Chains A and B, each alone.
Chain A
Amino acid sequence: MSKPMARNVTNEGFDTTAHLRNAAAQAAKRGYDDFMIVDVDAHHYETEAFSEIADYIDDPVLRREAKFQGMSRGGIASMDGSYQEMTGRVIRYPERKNEKVPPEPHRDITLMYRWMDAMGVDVACMFPTPMLNIVTCPRIEVEVALARAYNRWLCDNILKTENRLKSMLYLPFNDPAACVDIVEKFGDKPGVIGFMVVATHYRSVHDNAYMKLYSMLQERNLPLAFHAAYTWSDKQLSLTNRFMAVHALGFTWHNMLHMTNWLVNGMPERFPKLKLIWIESGLAWVPFLMQRLDNEFMMRTSDAPLLKRKPSDYMREMYYTSQPMEMVDNLEALEVTFKMMNAKTQLLYSSDYPHWDMDLPMTIYDLPFLDEQGKRDILGGNAQRLFNLETALAPGKLERRAKRGVKAAAG
């Protein structure tokens, strides 16, 4: 045997491809080259390009303010001093900013493709990271200005040229008219596959002010996604003192609230063709809420008179992203969850990379109760159908397949 090759891990610079070398090994072992993987919830750190984004702010006063203030999070005592990177334990947070990239293409494109290629992801729907929190900004005009600027920057600099990168664009939900305007202006841009609302807002989803928005999205066949989040400024969640607590509850609570209002107010009957996606709340909340709402609905149908079926029947027709999938010891519970939510057609794989609780495709692929087609549908097929995506494998996959002499279409 040849002499072992040594790496001193304390002296290595950060590189996404190296960081995810075990993910690439997983992809090769499981044969991801043979089918398309779509990641419906991934992120980039737009803070690294924030001065570029700030240039897109129309209002010159806010533009100057944005450039001066920046978009970084505050320190330990700030409302969002969240230490989600576990004070350096998850090393990609502190070290990622030092990663070397070539001058072209845009740094965000290079970094996205590095992790996607390592994991075997062909197409990713990308979202910002700190800018998700602009939903809690008390100055609504700031939220709107930043949302417009980010969406324009993303369309111009990333989505326009990159077929593998998509987005559901941020809607500034605190301003219903601005949401309508954004759908009108951006709805047919290349790479825009829907629109997204961050869940930590304080205006009910059944407010009449939003009906025009829902109608437009339904008419255009563009899905509406509720991206989970937490905020320590929420009155109840401010009672928590550890990140694990505010995150575990916050990322489910806000979406449970919106789902409940959506159902009780009969929105699925009012907008029967509007496709809803619930992002980053995991899965365990779904059977809980189905059981809770069905039980109460059967006693109080007069509280939700627009519903013609049980709440869970409508929930089973909505879409859910998979991450963070609760890795319970009880596999039976997970299997029941999959059955209850009709995961074979409604579940969409998501990684949430590069965040601390990201899930690799193996979290789906290794589930013993799914057959091969079921795995492939959740990892990509369901998203392909939902977003009308063409079958398109990553260049690296195509190269490897060509070397193997594989010509048949991926499925």
Chain B
Amino acid sequence: MSEPVLVCKSDDLKEGAVQVFAIGDIEIGVIRHKGNCVAYRNVCPHQGGPVCDGRLMPQVEDVIDPNGLFVCQNFKEDDMHIVCPWHGYEFKIATGEHAVDPNVRLKKYEITERGGNIYVTL
């Protein structure tokens, strides 16, 4: 395993922000989500889109009442996704898994935050 690479200062990545870093030939997106940081390769497993350049969107849900009747749609703000800007594939920010199929997932990198800095290990 390679050495951790300093990518930015902790203060440079606010809650909900995304920064994309080119480390050698590889682009990695770093996202601060619920206080923690996650790092994913900026390549969508679908057709290779720059997934970390995409929007952060909550999971959409259909609200159904106890009798099975449709009520409305809602955003589930506690289940945030990053959306590939090429085709709209949605991935759970926390795990990198596709919103429905966990076998389709982003390549995740180990990330550490210490001493006011954020490091990614390739």
Q: Is B52 on the interface with A (CB-CB < 8 A)?
A: yes
Residue B63 CB within 8 A of the other chain: no
- Whether B7 and A357, one on each chain, are in contact in the complex, defined by CB atoms closer than 8 angstroms, is no
Contact of A4 among B5, B49, B86 (CB under 8 A): B5
Given A22-B48, A23-B48: A358 touches B23 (CB 8 Å cut-off): no
Which single residue of chain B is at the shortest CB-CB distance from A355?
B87
Known A4-B5, A6-B20, A6-B21; judge A91-B54 contact (CB<8 A): yes
A270 proximal to B (CB < 8 A): no
A359 CB within 8 Å of chain B = yes
Q: Report yes or no: A362 in contact with B48, Cβ–Cβ below 8 A.
A: yes
A4 touches B22 (CB 8 A): yes
Does B55 touch A at the CB level, under 8 Å?
A: yes
Q: Which of B25-74 contact A (CB under 8 A)?
A: 29, 42-43, 46-50, 52-55, 57
Interface locus among A7-15, A252-260, A332-340, A376-384: A7-15
* Complex contact A360–B47 (CB within 8 A): yes
Q: Are A359 and B47 in contact (CB under 8 A)?
A: yes
Specify which of A10, A21, A26, A362 lies most central, judged by the most chain B CB atoms within 10 Å of its CB.
A10
The answer for the CA separation of A363 and B49 in the assembled complex, in Å, is: 13
Cα–Cα distance between A356 and B83 once the two chains are bound (Å): 13
B50 pairs with A19, CB closer than 8 A: yes
Give the complex CA separation of A247 and B83 in angstroms. Answer: 20
- Determine how close the nearest CB of chain B comes to the CB of A84; give it in whole angstroms: 10
Bound CA–CA A292/B23 (angstroms): 53
Q: Which of B71-106 contact A (CB under 8 A)?
A: 83, 85-88, 90
Known: A22-B48, A89-B57, A327-B46. A1 touches B24 (CB 8 A): yes
Report yes or no: A3 in contact with B6, Cβ–Cβ below 8 A: yes
B48 contact set on A, CB distance < 8 A: 22-23, 25-26, 360, 362
Measured between beta carbons, the chain B residues less than 8 angstroms from A362 are: 47-48
Number of A-B residue pairs, CB cutoff 8 Å, is: 76
A residues 1-40 touching B (CB-CB < 8 Å): 1, 3-10, 12, 19, 21-23, 25-26
Interface assignment of A114: CB less than 8 Å from any CB of chain B: no
CB-based contact B85/A91 at 8 Å: yes
Contact indicator A90/B88 (Cβ below 8 Å): yes
CA distance A171 to B74 in the complex (A): 43
Q: Does A88 contact B (CB under 8 A)?
A: yes
List chain A residues, Cβ under 8 A from B20: 6-7, 9
- Give A363 to B22 CA distance when docked, in angstroms: 26
- Given the interface pairs A9-B18, A9-B52, A358-B86, the reply to whether A4 lies near B47 with Cβ below 8 Å is no
* Pair A1/B23 contact, Cβ less than 8 Å: yes
A358 touches B50 (CB 8 A): no
CB nearest to B29 among chain A residues = A9
- A316 is an interface residue with CB less than 8 A from chain B: no
Determine how close the nearest CB of chain A comes to the CB of B112; give it in whole angstroms. 15
Q: Does A86 contact B (CB under 8 A)?
A: yes
Chain A residues lying within 8 Å of B86, measured Cβ to Cβ, are: 90, 358
B19: interface (CB < 8 Å):
yes
Assembly CA distance A358 to B47 (angstroms): 10
Contacts A22-B43, A22-B48, A362-B48 given; does A5 touch B21 at CB 8 Å: yes
Assess whether B88 is in contact with A4, with CB atoms less than 8 Å apart: no
- Which residues of the other chain, B, contact A206 by a CB distance below 8 angstroms? none
Residues in A whose Cβ lies below 8 Å from that of B6: 3-4
**How far is it, in angstroms, between the C-alpha of A358 and the C-alpha of B49 when the chains are bound?**
11
Is A43's beta carbon under 8 Å from chain B? no
Q: Looking at the assembled complex, report how far the CB atom of A25 sits from the nearest CB atom of chain B, in whole angstroms.
A: 8
State whether A9 touches B8 (Cβ < 8 A). Answer: no
Please report the C-alpha to C-alpha distance between residue A363 and residue B48 in the assembled complex, in whole angstroms.
Answer: 10
Residue of B nearest to A92 (CB): B85
Q: Please give, as numbers and ranges, the residues of chain A lying within 8 Å of B57 by CB-CB distance.
A: 89
Neighbouring A residues of B54 by C-beta, 8 Å: 89, 91
Per the bound structure, the CA–CA distance linking A164 and B50 in Å amounts to 27
Q: Which B residues are in CB contact (< 8 Å) with A356?
A: 87-88
Q: Which residues does chain A contribute within 8 Å of B5, judged by CB atoms?
A: 1, 4
When chains A and B are docked, how far (Å) is the Cα of A91 from the Cα of B85? 5
Residues of chain A from 67 to 108 with CB closer than 8 A to chain B in the complex: 86, 88-92
Alpha-carbon distance A359/B47, docked complex (angstroms): 8
Contact A6 B85 (CB under 8 A): no
Q: Are B85 and A90 in contact, with the CB atoms below 8 A?
A: yes
Which residues does chain B contribute within 8 Å of A88, judged by CB atoms? Answer: 55
Contacts of A6 in B (CB 8 A): 7-8, 19-21
A-B pairs with beta carbons under 8 Å apart, 12 shown: A4-B7, A4-B23, A8-B17, A10-B18, A22-B49, A23-B48, A86-B83, A89-B55, A89-B90, A90-B88, A91-B53, A359-B47
The 10 lowest CB-CB distance pairs between A and B, nearest first, are A4-B21, A91-B85, A5-B22, A7-B20, A89-B83, A89-B88, A4-B23, A9-B53, A86-B88, A22-B48
